[in-house]
Amino acid sequence: MKQLGIVAFLLFAPLAAAQSPDPEAATTSTAKQAVVAQHWMAVSANPHASRAAAEMLEAGGSAADAAIAAQLVLNLVEPQSSGLGGGAFVLTWSKKNGELRSYDGREMAPAASTPEDFLGPDGKPVGFFAAIEHGRAVAVPGLPRLLETLHRAHGKLPWARLFEPAIKLAENGFEVSPRLATLLSQGQRYFDTTPDMRAVFYHGNGTPLQVGETFKNPAFAKTLRDIARNGVDAFYKGDISHQLLAKLQQAAAAAPTPIPVRMQASDLAAYQTKQREPVCGPYRVFRVCSVGMPSSGGVTVLESLGMLEKFDLPSMKPSDPKPWHLLAEAQRRAFADRERYLADSDFVQVPVAGLLDRAYLAARAAAIDPAHVAAQRVPAGEPPGAPPARAPDRSLERPGTSHLTIVDQDGLLVAMTTSIETAFGSRLIVGGFLLNNHMTDFSLAPTGADGAPVANRIEPGKRPRSSMMPTIVFDANRMPVLALGSPGGSAIPGYVLKSLVARLDWKMDLQSALDLPHLLNRNGPTELENSELQPALAAMGHQTRVSPQSSGLHAIAFENGTLVGAADKRREGLAIGR
């Protein structure tokens, strides 16, 4: 049953006990209900963050003000997922002028970076966990400058006001949630070489913080006060930047063999947010928009939708394996193109128009057998405007990310996906916040086996490929009907695609659309969240794998003049509206 008013639905339930090589795979499965409101709505991954957003909206702030306040609180209460040491993508839409904007706050490779930075003595890429050791995976953070950009473009409240909820929580403390406690417990083995992080999140006897314990972070409160008072130059040019660079030097010095520190003060001082052209495409009677390069998520989902449009999904039922087979096959082909073509378009030619060309997608769809898998791995297509031969990059981002969706009473809509990459990022902590490991979102190998360059190879000043994709769907009158996004690394396109099909084709209510079990295909095995469809899909030729899916979909739907907010049951999210 839906409810009206300022409503909060989140009960911390015991987390799944399944272990995973990546601790961010811990999930919750708490039953939730959608929230209905008339004036504004805020949905984020943690109740404290949603309440901070609501506080800003109640004070007359904009959705951008609310998003900034929520993000700062998320940095504190779910430090494993996002924060000042990372980056984000933001999509905004204004009811006043109908303008859609895309902001790129993705991290950046330092100027001294080289394509060979993650090759071992044998010339082969080092392993993932070796790559994030000793600070070598930290890219220049983009989030602080992005928050400043958002405030200057869309803010109403004073800058310092937005920091108050996070400062108060950092100084007075908050109760450790089940998710944070579980991730700290599961990740203990990863933190043996990061004593400064253990000193913050673990007891003196080595045990991690427990559920319900009060956790304070005075170092983070100090960082926030500095940025609130002096602006983000305090981060990029002031004392915080000095601490960050010193931490990287310290981490490099602890390496068994010398590791050069790539990031310099000039890299931090030079970082700028970029306003990019949104990427949009039709799907039946709708128009779906997301952020463009260096995020691959929007193009990947738009390609998938362009292929699925050739099939009558609305007449099929979610209990039928046929539409799920089609979703898997469309994703398989979109990911094949992602592997070869998608990267930072400031550095490589990315044929976005060709990949979304209607004739090209019709040809890709025609190759899908509605009843059987043709191949477990398909090659990339040849879209119009395709660049010379490139080697595929099959590396997949880890799921250490968060998402929030907010709309204010003036109709400003903000969808933000934010990340420090894998859970707890680089495991290095500065000023109470964790540093990212987003350099590992580049291809660790600069060339393929045939010597062809990889589009997503490391280059100085380049931004690593991402799958983050804050998304807004518009109707035929160019009015929003849905805004959403999710964490999940390279699984994000699959999470968003499933939710779009459930909502737009199957007309499911918003909460049910988010909660519907996931199916992913990243040009390989078909990954299922539960085993119900496994026999039927296996009969169609799918190699299947069943595993928990750590999505965190947070969405707002626009229904007949009302706002409907919903948070993914798999995480600790909360929708609040008035």
Q: Which residues are catalytic?
A: 401
Q: What are residue 214's DSSP bridge partners?
A: 175
Q: Which residues pair with 167 in a beta bridge?
A: none
Q: Does residue 144 have a cis peptide bond before it, meaning omega lies within 30 degrees of 0?
A: no
Largest Cα span, the chain: 63
Which sign, positive or negative, has the C-alpha torsion 171, 173, 177, 182?
A: positive
What whole-number distance in Å separates Cα of residue 307 and Cα of residue 328? Answer: 11
Pairing of strands 526-528, 544-546: parallel
Question: In the block, which residue shows the tokens 């203990």?
Answer: 188
Class of residue 199 by CB neighbours under 10 A (exposed 0-12, middle 13-18, buried 19+): exposed
Going by their DSSP bridges, the two strands 214-215 and 174-175 should be labelled as antiparallel
What whole-number distance in Å separates Cα of residue 381 and Cα of residue 336?
8
Rounded to 10 deg, the angle between the 164-172 and 63-77 helix axes is: 20
Containing 302, the helix (H) or strand (E) segment is helix 297-308
Q: How far apart are the C-alpha atoms of 477 and 4, rounded to whole Å? A: 27
**Closest to 301 (Cα-Cα) out of 325, 279, 323:** 279
| CB contact at 8 A, 534 and 544 | yes
> CA nearest 340: which of 380, 292, 297?
380
What sections of 126-202 are H helices per DSSP? 128-131, 143-154, 164-172, 178-186, 195-201
Question: What is the DSSP annotation of 542-576?
Answer: --EEE-------EEEEEETTEEEEEE-TTTT-EEE
Q: What angle do CA 87, 288, 568 make, to 5 degrees?
A: 60
Give CA angle at 554 (165, 186), nearest 5°: 80
Q: Which of 82, 77, 226, 219 is nearest to 159 (CA)?
A: 226
List the structure tokens of 320.
């039928």
Report residue 279: phi and psi, to 5°.
-105, 125
Contact 92, 412 (CB under 8 A): yes
Q: Which helix (H) or strand (E) holds 49?
A: helix 47-58
What letter would DSSP give residue 373? -
- Residue whose pair of structure tokens reads 């057998």 in the numeric block: 369
